[in-house]
Chain A
Amino acid sequence: MKLSNQRSRIGWVGGLLLALTGAGWGHGNFHELVTDLNAKVTAAPADAQLRLDRALIYLEHEDLALAKEDLEAAAKLGGAEVVVLLLQAKWHRLSKQLPAARLAIESCLKLGAKNVAAHWERLEILSAQQETALALEEADALLELEQTRIPELVLQRTQLAEQVDAAAALQWLDEWLAKHPRLAVLEQAALALEIKLKRHEAVLARFDRLLAAAPRKEFLLLKQAQYLADRKDAVLALAAVASCKAALDRLPVHLRNLPAAQEVGTKADALQKALTITP
């Protein structure tokens, strides 16, 4: 017996023990899916796909021991080699066996070079291995293949690049933004990099661009005021605070009193007070 205050070490599969007895066919429910697949595997023990289906469910719930059994069985049965290798890579990564994960994913990509899921997995593995340069290459390769999760990938690529060279990360992001719709989320990421790099003029220009595009200004104005206050530019910071408070005042009542807006007001008041007391 041991005492622990850390739940996170344990890969939870169950929850209440009673849930183990849950049975019956259905869609989506973990126990029901497993029960259903158990029956199918019993009926067709040589069906590798069924083993992979069940392994994937176990992996999603991080039940690594059971996932391993199914993956080994699927590998022995043969077929679907790309999927087997992909899931093996995922299994090794979740098991924190990163070199083995890397080997598996490289083998997987040799067989299925354009498998987007495999490229995402490789990106995860390389990031976990802190192989930043290779991860960056992988992100670039993935950008050629990914169709739907572009903003997520661009952000991830930017964060990776920032670890190596923030200026280069910003340059790459700006170039990307110039060729694609200027998503506010990515503009904000660029702004954060500019602040980090202390590129004051660029920061102000970015704020101006974001403010011009934003239907509501109060959140951005508060952020701008905080940035200016951090730079000890009390005059401009106070002006931004005043603009922020004016923007809040202009909001219709159904927006002005929302918790998020109230929070902006409170922070603006506090910043104004601090700036007034300590000019």
Chain B
Amino acid sequence: MPPLRAFLYSMLMLTAADAALVRGPYLQMANPHAISVRWRTDDFGVGQVRYGLTSVNLDQTISETTFKKDHELRLTGLTPATKYFYAVDLEGVELAGGSDHFFTTPPAVGSTGAFRFWALGDAGTRYPAQTMVRNAFGGEHAVKPADFVMMLGDNAYYAGSDSEYQTAVFNIYPTYLRQLCFWSCLGNHEVISNATAPPYFDIFTFPTNGECGGVASGTEHYFSFDYANVHFISLDFMQSSRLASGAQAAWLQEDLQNVQAPWTIVFFHHPPYTHGSHNSDWESDLVQLRENFMPILENAGVDLVLSGHSHCYERSWFMRGHYGVSSTFNAGTHVVQAGDGREDGTGIYQKYLAGPNAGKGTVYVVAGSAGQATGGALDHPAMYEGLNTLGSLVVDVADDRMDVRFLNSTGTYDDHFTMQKTENGPLVLPGKPEHLGVLPTGLTTGLLRWDDVAAETIYDIESSADGMTFTVVGSAGVNETQFTLGNLVNGGVVSLRVTARNSNGSNASAVLTYTHSSPPNPVTPIETWRFIHFAIVTDSGDAANQADPDHDGVNNLLEYAFGSNPRHPSKPVALEWGYDEEEGWYAYTFDRHARTDITYSLEVSETLEAVAWTTLFTSTGIENTQQLITVPDTAIGVTTRRFARLRITNP
């Protein structure tokens, strides 16, 4: 050895001998036959991993070939579902090892045995809350260990720097990190310290070339992996394109088109549905990802979607097809199977493998309270449950059953639901349309109404002069509950029959015998609306202006004014404000519906005192069309605060 090289080598050896472990070891990118072991030392050296089937016989070795501080070695040729013990060395000196340094390789892809993973979102606050959530899971883990950990982003506040990762992740979860493979998705706080080259990508090793299953993505921003009979997909809505025409969407389509597993779970930081500390109605990134990506996921039959970002727990209905803002959520249309999804409640969610509902139904969970709980309205109508509670998710999969539970920071489960893959769905037939009624609207016209039923694709409307032989007079589409009758004769009797159908057929028809009597006075629009929804025209009972029969906090008059359904819980967004770039002013907007008998008054004030409100704009509904009305308010930006309200009046 030349003298200079010998000197350098001995210097490095001396340094390495003193080197200390400052991070890890931690486990990455596990598949049934391989796993990556990573660790960091405070000085350079050549790393080595020794591993074997018992902690006292680490008979296999893999070594680095260059001097490093950040070490990574991929152990290959492993046996699936097998427990291995390991130790990490630097320059022949053991830095970590022993009976608590082990991992279990994932089972063979497609296997149906039980496994568990722990999902935690927005954990990295370093607050006591983070430790409480971790400790609560510790109790569960001691009884039934998790097989891997899924981080839902914002893993290390505030900026996702390497040092913050040290204190918020590596110092908090050292045992789990050395025993379980950690997966993650990119949160918004991962990119604050360095948006161009976030430390996140140096800290984690994720598959870019399909190393753990799925289609190669070519990037660690989004990727997929298989574990037993579940296909997992991690997406990035922070830095990667949220466009339907973007590279991420194209890859997702490819990946989903090649899924072979019975279950698919997708996770990403930004939630498509939330009314927590974020709002998916107006935050443009959430709107965009929901509109562009959720149809792709649902079309591919994705079972569970996990997110964080909102620091709360929200869990949706078993649903499908809701891509708009929360006010457009319609339980009748979007809920695939009603109920809480609980075995000890209204019954578990059935994900059918065949039949009309095959592959339909997804549960969306926001689990962003593993480090703090900061509330929010928690009233998104797509959500079955909303909790301002610290906690994390424990997910168990066993063959055709998946149990998802929200574990709070005291070790108690606050919510749970179960999904089951069921071979054949029942033959779903639409029910009988109840409460048929006719509102006479003119000399020869009337309005036929009925109650909406589930699972219909069309309503057949028939009439008969003798009550025996019926003739089809028209049809109504899905979710419609009215039909205009013509050619009625004053004093004439007619039998009317309404049948709900779908591709499986029909169940029972509703029949009404009606005697036409032209109304003495014109029927008002709100009376017609009441009749359609409640089968009565008077301002009384469930149909009263001030009544709220669906208990959504929006009374009938407001439901009428904003065009929502008074019998389906929803919260219409009444009033918004924003800056009009083109005009250079702040303005309010609201949707004025085609209500000729409603006055919409926009009132503003600098205080909430009753006398202080002034009317900025009034719409008397002269134009009988729906309009988005924009009302500028030049006082915004001048005054220190501004309150606004929309007053609805039915003269």
| A and B are interacting partners | yes
- Which one of B354, B580, B641 lies within 8 Å of A253 (CB-CB)? B354
Residue B134 is within 8 A (CB to CB) of chain A in the complex: no
Residue B614 is within 8 A (CB to CB) of chain A in the complex: no
Residue B234 is within 8 A (CB to CB) of chain A in the complex: no
**Chain B, 204-244, contact with A by CB distance < 8 Å: what is the 0/1 string?**
00001100000111111100000000000000000111000
Residues of B within 8 A of A12 (CB): 282, 284, 576, 578-579
Residues of A within 8 A of B355 (CB): 257
The answer to whether A5 touches B577, judged by C-beta atoms less than 8 angstroms apart, is no
Given A259-B359, A263-B299; A147-B258 close (CB under 8 Å): no
> Which of B138-146, B443-451, B479-487, B627-635 touches A?
B627-635
Which residues of B172-231 are within 8 A (CB) of A? 188-189, 195-197, 201, 208-209, 215-221
Bound form: Cα–Cα A108–B176 in Å: 44
- Which one of A5, A13, A29, A186 lies within 8 Å of B579 (CB-CB)? A13
Bound form: Cα–Cα A183–B217 in Å: 7
Bound form: Cα–Cα A149–B201 in Å: 11
Given A14-B577, A253-B423, A259-B301; A27-B196 close (CB under 8 Å): no
Given A16-B576, A27-B157, A257-B354; A1-B629 close (CB under 8 Å): yes
- Which one of A28, A117, A258 lies within 8 Å of B189 (CB-CB)? A28
Residues of B within 8 A of A20 (CB): 641-642
Residues of B within 8 A of A253 (CB): 353-354, 423
The answer to whether A260 touches B576, judged by C-beta atoms less than 8 angstroms apart, is no
CB distance from A204 to the nearest CB of B (A): 20
Residue B452 is within 8 A (CB to CB) of chain A in the complex: no
Bound form: Cα–Cα A3–B619 in Å: 11
**Chain A, 1-43, contact with B by CB distance < 8 Å: what is the 0/1 string?**
1111111011111111101100010111110100000000000
With CB as the reference atom, state the residue of chain A lying closest to B222. A151
- Which one of A5, A155, A184, A261 lies within 8 Å of B628 (CB-CB)? A5
- Which one of A32, A151, A263 lies within 8 Å of B251 (CB-CB)? A151
Bound form: Cα–Cα A148–B157 in Å: 22
- Which one of B157, B208, B215, B579 lies within 8 Å of A10 (CB-CB)? B579
The answer to whether A5 touches B627, judged by C-beta atoms less than 8 angstroms apart, is yes
The answer to whether A27 touches B630, judged by C-beta atoms less than 8 angstroms apart, is no
Residue B501 is within 8 A (CB to CB) of chain A in the complex: no
Residues of B within 8 A of A263 (CB): 299
Residue A171 is within 8 A (CB to CB) of chain B in the complex: no
CB distance from A224 to the nearest CB of B (A): 14
Residue A266 is within 8 A (CB to CB) of chain B in the complex: no
CB distance from B98 to the nearest CB of A (A): 36
Bound form: Cα–Cα A64–B220 in Å: 32
Which residues of A208-264 are within 8 A (CB) of B? 214-216, 219, 252-255, 257-263
- Which one of B196, B221, B282, B629 lies within 8 Å of A117 (CB-CB)? B196
With CB as the reference atom, state the residue of chain B lying closest to A30. B283
The answer to whether A149 touches B260, judged by C-beta atoms less than 8 angstroms apart, is no
Residues of A within 8 A of B374 (CB): 24, 26, 29, 32
Report the interface size class on chain A. 35 or more
Residues of B within 8 A of A259 (CB): 298-301, 358-360
The answer to whether B247 touches A258, judged by C-beta atoms less than 8 angstroms apart, is no
Which residues of B544-593 are within 8 A (CB) of A? 573, 575-582, 587-589
Residues of A within 8 A of B595 (CB): none
Bound form: Cα–Cα A177–B615 in Å: 64
Given A14-B577, A27-B158, A184-B215; A216-B372 close (CB under 8 Å): no
Which residues of B231-285 are within 8 A (CB) of A? 239-241, 246-248, 250-251, 254, 256-260, 262, 277-279, 281-284
Residue A165 is within 8 A (CB to CB) of chain B in the complex: no
Residue B122 is within 8 A (CB to CB) of chain A in the complex: yes
- Which one of B197, B257, B423, B580 lies within 8 Å of A116 (CB-CB)? B197
The answer to whether B220 touches A148, judged by C-beta atoms less than 8 angstroms apart, is yes
Residues of A within 8 A of B530 (CB): none
The answer to whether B576 touches A27, judged by C-beta atoms less than 8 angstroms apart, is no
Residue A72 is within 8 A (CB to CB) of chain B in the complex: no
Residue B290 is within 8 A (CB to CB) of chain A in the complex: no
Given A188-B254, A214-B258; A183-B643 close (CB under 8 Å): no
**Chain B, 327-367, contact with A by CB distance < 8 Å: what is the 0/1 string?**
00000000000000000000000001111001110000000
Residue B529 is within 8 A (CB to CB) of chain A in the complex: no
Given A15-B281, A188-B250, A257-B359; A183-B216 close (CB under 8 Å): yes
Given A149-B240, A260-B301; A9-B581 close (CB under 8 Å): yes
- Which one of A7, A61, A115, A151 lies within 8 Å of B196 (CB-CB)? A115
The answer to whether A4 touches B218, judged by C-beta atoms less than 8 angstroms apart, is no
Residue A137 is within 8 A (CB to CB) of chain B in the complex: no
Residue B516 is within 8 A (CB to CB) of chain A in the complex: no
Bound form: Cα–Cα A156–B553 in Å: 47
Residue A44 is within 8 A (CB to CB) of chain B in the complex: no
The answer to whether B218 touches A61, judged by C-beta atoms less than 8 angstroms apart, is no
With CB as the reference atom, state the residue of chain A lying closest to B209. A181
CB distance from B358 to the nearest CB of A (A): 4
Bound form: Cα–Cα A7–B629 in Å: 10
Given A10-B579, A255-B259; A1-B631 close (CB under 8 Å): yes
Residues of A within 8 A of B641 (CB): 20
Residue B89 is within 8 A (CB to CB) of chain A in the complex: no
Q: In this complex, which of A16, A115, A253 has the most chain B Cβ atoms within 10 angstroms of its Cβ?
A: A16
The answer to whether A260 touches B299, judged by C-beta atoms less than 8 angstroms apart, is yes
Given A10-B581, A28-B309, A117-B195; A155-B250 close (CB under 8 Å): yes
The answer to whether B576 touches A15, judged by C-beta atoms less than 8 angstroms apart, is yes
The answer to whether A152 touches B358, judged by C-beta atoms less than 8 angstroms apart, is no
Bound form: Cα–Cα A207–B221 in Å: 27
Which residues of A74-127 are within 8 A (CB) of B? 95, 115-117
Residue A185 is within 8 A (CB to CB) of chain B in the complex: yes
Residue A167 is within 8 A (CB to CB) of chain B in the complex: no
The answer to whether B358 touches A258, judged by C-beta atoms less than 8 angstroms apart, is yes
Given A10-B578, A259-B299; A148-B221 close (CB under 8 Å): yes
- Which one of B239, B246, B260, B581 lies within 8 Å of A95 (CB-CB)? B581
Bound form: Cα–Cα A151–B216 in Å: 11
Residue B91 is within 8 A (CB to CB) of chain A in the complex: no
The answer to whether B157 touches A29, judged by C-beta atoms less than 8 angstroms apart, is no
Bound form: Cα–Cα A258–B362 in Å: 13
Residue B311 is within 8 A (CB to CB) of chain A in the complex: yes
The answer to whether A215 touches B627, judged by C-beta atoms less than 8 angstroms apart, is no
Residue B151 is within 8 A (CB to CB) of chain A in the complex: no
Residues of B within 8 A of A70 (CB): none
Residue B617 is within 8 A (CB to CB) of chain A in the complex: yes
Residue B387 is within 8 A (CB to CB) of chain A in the complex: no
- Which one of B240, B299, B575, B629 lies within 8 Å of A17 (CB-CB)? B575
Residue A62 is within 8 A (CB to CB) of chain B in the complex: yes
**Chain B, 610-651, contact with A by CB distance < 8 Å: what is the 0/1 string?**
000000010000000001111110000000011110000000
The answer to whether B189 touches A27, judged by C-beta atoms less than 8 angstroms apart, is yes
Residues of B within 8 A of A141 (CB): none
Residue A150 is within 8 A (CB to CB) of chain B in the complex: yes
CB distance from B248 to the nearest CB of A (A): 7
Residue A194 is within 8 A (CB to CB) of chain B in the complex: no
The answer to whether A254 touches B122, judged by C-beta atoms less than 8 angstroms apart, is no
Residues of B within 8 A of A6 (CB): 628
With CB as the reference atom, state the residue of chain A lying closest to B584. A65
Which residues of B278-311 are within 8 A (CB) of A? 278-279, 281-284, 298-301, 309, 311
The answer to whether B188 touches A28, judged by C-beta atoms less than 8 angstroms apart, is yes
Residue B154 is within 8 A (CB to CB) of chain A in the complex: yes
* 3 A-B pairs with least C-beta separation: A257-B358, A15-B282, A258-B359
With A1-B617, A215-B260, A252-B262 given, can you name 13 additional A-B contacts, CB distance below 8 Å?
Answer: A17-B575, A17-B642, A27-B122, A147-B201, A151-B251, A181-B209, A183-B251, A184-B215, A184-B216, A184-B251, A255-B259, A255-B260, A259-B360
Identify 28 residue pairs between A and B in the complex whose beta-carbon atoms are under 8 Å apart, listed by A's number: A3-B628, A5-B627, A10-B589, A11-B579, A12-B282, A12-B576, A13-B579, A14-B576, A15-B576, A20-B641, A20-B642, A26-B311, A27-B311, A28-B277, A62-B284, A65-B579, A147-B201, A148-B197, A149-B239, A152-B219, A155-B246, A155-B250, A183-B217, A185-B218, A253-B353, A253-B423, A257-B353, A259-B359
